[in-house]
Structure 1
Amino acid sequence: MRKHYRQVLRAQRKELTLWWLERMVATAQPWTEKRTLLWHNHWATSIQKVKSGAAMLQQNETLRRLGGGDFRTLARAMVVDPALMVWLDADGSTAKAPNENLGREFMELFVLGVGNYSETDVRQAAAALTGWTLDRHANPWKPVFRAARHAKGPETVVGRTADFTARSLVDHLVALPASHAHVAGRMWGALVSNENKPSASALARLVKAYGTERDTTALFRALFTDAAFADPANVLVKQPVEYVVGSLRALGVRPRDLPEKQRAALLLHTLTGLGQVPFAPDSVGGWPAGAAWLTTSAAQARIGFAQTLVRHADLGEIEKTAAKDRAELLARTLGVGEWGAATRGVLTAAARDPMRITALALTAPEHLVLR
């Protein structure tokens, strides 16, 4: 029975991951899926502990549906999200035995940031979140509040004393100035630069756009229109999912059109080798960023991916283009502004072979970064 259970869970994880990758490649609105992946990393939750494909899908749909509106609405939904509750041991937290995991991570990672709360705040927040459990007979699971298991208030959390509920606790925390700066800073790190922090004036612009309505779409717009977004000094290394999905979209290859066995090998094995598989972040802190993706083993995985991908891609446009112009065509196809001198030399040497030059372009340093 245990063996069968593990097989079913692996099948759920595979199906769920391939479903999302197909959606990312096929969508006519890539920003929605990019934003959902961004929030998945922010509210990092792993199926390895949750052990329910349905619960992970429900969370994914919540992030997609609410990820462009009021952050308070999203935070209200996430604090009682079944997958997150299991991931952070909130299911079954009672007045007699409050579990601090959800309260701690909610403040440290999701809403406030390090240094903006105390250990007393963590304990008090844990008490405020007691009483919530899951109805596991429902499909998908449903959060259920049991008043008899809830700690009686009042609690004092980050400067306010009240008889908090999960909802009122969220409302209090997301209204704090520290929360506004934390959310803006996290999004800056994900979309502008993980290495260069925003200046005081840039952060102020972002917080102003986010506003008292906590408008995440306005925040994203402010990020994309900030001068720092286009500054060549700010370079982001593509996350493995971004790299794989972007390459598939550029070459017009849909996961569903690949033979089933090759689909798993090309996508799941590649992402495992690169270190980022959707629905399975490394920790509650999410995946690493920046140069952490540029390892020797990751380079080997990218080479194998590129060599396999070109065998399934329609390279007709490249084949009918003169060899001397193929490097420029691939730059436009892959969204690369300009090849460096070293890369251009390598591509020029391979230009007579459409498959070889395309595979090399897919592994070039210029294709691994977002500028």
Structure 2
Amino acid sequence: MTTTQQQLQHLYWRAGFGPTPGQVAAGLSPRQALRQLLRDSQQFEPLDGPAMRYAEPLPPPSDKRLAAQGRPQTAMVTTPDGTAQPATQGAGKMTAAERKQRNQAIRSAYYAMNTGWLTRMATSPAQLREKLTFFWHGHFACRVRRPDAALQLNNTIRRLALGKFPDLLLAVSKEPAMLQFLNNQQNRKQHPNENFAREVMELFTLGRGHYSETDVKEAARAFTGWGYNAEGQFAFRERQHDDGPKTLLGRTGNFTGEQALAVILAQPACAEFITTRLYRFFVNDTPDPAHIQPLAQAFFRSGYDIADLLERLFSADWFYAAAHVGTRIKSPVELLAGLKRTLGLQLANERPIIVFQKALGQTLFEPPNVAGWPGGRSWIDSSSLLYRLQLPAVLLRNAEFNVALKQDENDLAPNLSRADRTFNEPVKTTVQLAPLQQLLAGTPAARQPARLSEFLLQVPIRPENLALVRGDLRAMTTALLSLPEYQLM
């Protein structure tokens, strides 16, 4: 039987990025805490900042066509002082120095977006909105070289994360980053490209087994003409659209892309697919049909109301069952955001946060492929577990973090030498231990290690490990965070 504190911490870990000591000390019931989480996440605040902005416009779908209209496109580079300037030559004829400068500007923008979002995860009161944005970030996995397009997609997801799924699906489907990533700018009448249509059904809405190859071909025809303009906005190219009759999932009509999505959403299988994905993320890697079916049916009836579905899920008695508490492996991002949130952790230089993500196998804005991160037990192998267990000493005791990152074929500079990929230096941080001290106030010294473990760990600590938790508060905290049990939530 889980205690009220365990249930509360379980909710904060699953619906956000972990509890703060103050949240546990506040004494709310799980139901009161859920209402607070929902209230705090009502407002949408875009992720933005000067360092995240990158001035180069998206390449148009057809440079030749625009040039013929007298609208040549000028490539831009961002200088080290943050101002945007035209490249001295066309984008395809950049000098090596210009190309290097552009790549550095792109990388800097992505780093600012990454670290800015991780800080938002750790500090924002809108925990549920940020956690949902993180979930959809993996569900609608997209990796492009364009930080402006990637940030626009991320904010579209954030804005609609708790709304109606049809609105989210349509908006994401029209984002230039997604259209570029899944090749839909190449999807034209008489020459359809099926990539976008296939992933929409396989990964975004229905899952394998609920559509045919014919459905893919017909949906691809419906999405012909969908693209984007040089300003980074959706553009429908009517002359490239196939307006003939199409048969999709048993229905026939002269479907547009919007109508094709509506046909897909009319399938109850879609509600079950999305509910299952959310269940695996928020509850348990192993789906339970007895839990999922009623949720999926209510989700479908509600017009795919995401907030309503999550409120039902987090309010269910089974959500707090022992079988679901402390049974999910934290993803690298959840681990890092949780450490920052619990400890009020700040780094003097944010670059190590990127290094930690790359070493642990999950870098924000860089999913491995369109299927996103596999999750679950794939997060842990011999090297990543070692890095995970070293992190608390690195962050709380300025220990060195020594790692040679793997080559990344998708990186802007994919062929770096081992020396350039090696990180080996102390990480300067500040942590706020006063809230933990307040949480322990009134607890006898001999009982403090056990009390601290109840807050930091979601599973009971083994007696032999508890015996090793000694010293001052920093030492005890470091020891508990370095246990394998801290990897679970």
Q: TM-score normalized by structure 1?
A: 0.90
1:214 equivalent in structure 2? 304
2:56 equivalent in structure 1? none
The alignment partner of 2:228 has SS state of strand
Q: 1:241 aligns with which of 321, 333, 337?
A: 333
User: Counterparts in 2 of 1:124-273, with a 5 A limit?
Assistant: 124-136=218-230, 138=231, 141-194=232-285, 196-199=286-289, 201-212=290-301, 213-234=303-324, 235-254=327-346, 258-260=347-349, 263-265=350-352, 267-273=353-359
| Residue 315 (str. 1) matches residue 424 (str. 2) | no
2:393 and 2:308 map into 1 onto residues whose CA distance is 40
The answer on whether the counterparts of 1:318 and 1:326 sit within 8 Å (CA) in structure 2 is: no
1:317 and 1:54 map into 2 onto residues whose CA distance is 38
1:123 equivalent in structure 2? 217
The structural deviation recorded for 1:9 is 1.6
Q: 1:334 aligns with which of 424, 449, 456?
A: 456
1:167 and 1:101 map into 2 onto residues whose CA distance is 17
The structural deviation recorded for 1:339 is 1.9
Call closer, same or farther: CA 1:352–1:103 in 2, change over 3 Å.
same
1:228 and 1:319 map into 2 onto residues whose CA distance is 33
The answer on whether the counterparts of 1:318 and 1:329 sit within 8 Å (CA) in structure 2 is: no
2:101 equivalent in structure 1? 4
The structural deviation recorded for 1:323 is 5.0
| Residue 87 (str. 1) matches residue 175 (str. 2) | no
Provide the alpha-carbon RMSD of the alignment: 1.9
2:487 and 2:174 map into 1 onto residues whose CA distance is 37
1:41 equivalent in structure 2? 138
Call closer, same or farther: CA 1:156–1:180 in 2, change over 3 Å.
same
Q: Which structure's CA Rg is the greater one?
A: 2
Q: Which runs of 4+ in 1 moved over 4 A?
A: 316-323
Structure 1 letter corresponding to 2:475: R
Structure 2 letter corresponding to 1:160: R
1:325 equivalent in structure 2? 447
1:359 and 1:202 map into 2 onto residues whose CA distance is 38
Larger helix fraction of residues: 1
The structural deviation recorded for 1:157 is 1.0
Structure 2 letter corresponding to 1:245: A
1:294 equivalent in structure 2? 380
The answer on whether the counterparts of 1:90 and 1:102 sit within 8 Å (CA) in structure 2 is: yes
Structure 1 letter corresponding to 2:351: A
1:24 equivalent in structure 2? 121
2:136 and 2:193 map into 1 onto residues whose CA distance is 24
The structural deviation recorded for 1:44 is 0.7
Count of residue pairs the alignment pairs up: 353
| Residue 358 (str. 1) matches residue 477 (str. 2) | yes
The answer on whether the counterparts of 1:205 and 1:222 sit within 8 Å (CA) in structure 2 is: no
The answer on whether the counterparts of 2:390 and 2:482 sit within 8 Å (CA) in structure 1 is: no
1:136-157 deviation per Cα after TM superposition (whole angstroms, max 9, x unaligned): 2x1xx11100100111221111
The answer on whether the counterparts of 2:114 and 2:364 sit within 8 Å (CA) in structure 1 is: yes
The alignment partner of 2:393 has SS state of helix
Structure 1's unaligned 5+ residue stretches are none
Q: TM-score normalized by structure 2?
A: 0.69
2:461 and 2:250 map into 1 onto residues whose CA distance is 54
| More moved, 309-318 vs 109-118 | 309-318
The structural deviation recorded for 1:335 is 5.6
Structure 2's unaligned 5+ residue stretches are 1-97, 398-429
The alignment partner of 1:133 has SS state of strand
| Residue 275 (str. 1) matches residue 361 (str. 2) | yes
2:171 and 2:364 map into 1 onto residues whose CA distance is 21
1:233-277 deviation per Cα after TM superposition (whole angstroms, max 9, x unaligned): 2321111111111111111124xxx222xx211x11111111111
2:27 equivalent in structure 1? none
Structure 2 letter corresponding to 1:362: L
The alignment partner of 1:233 has SS state of helix
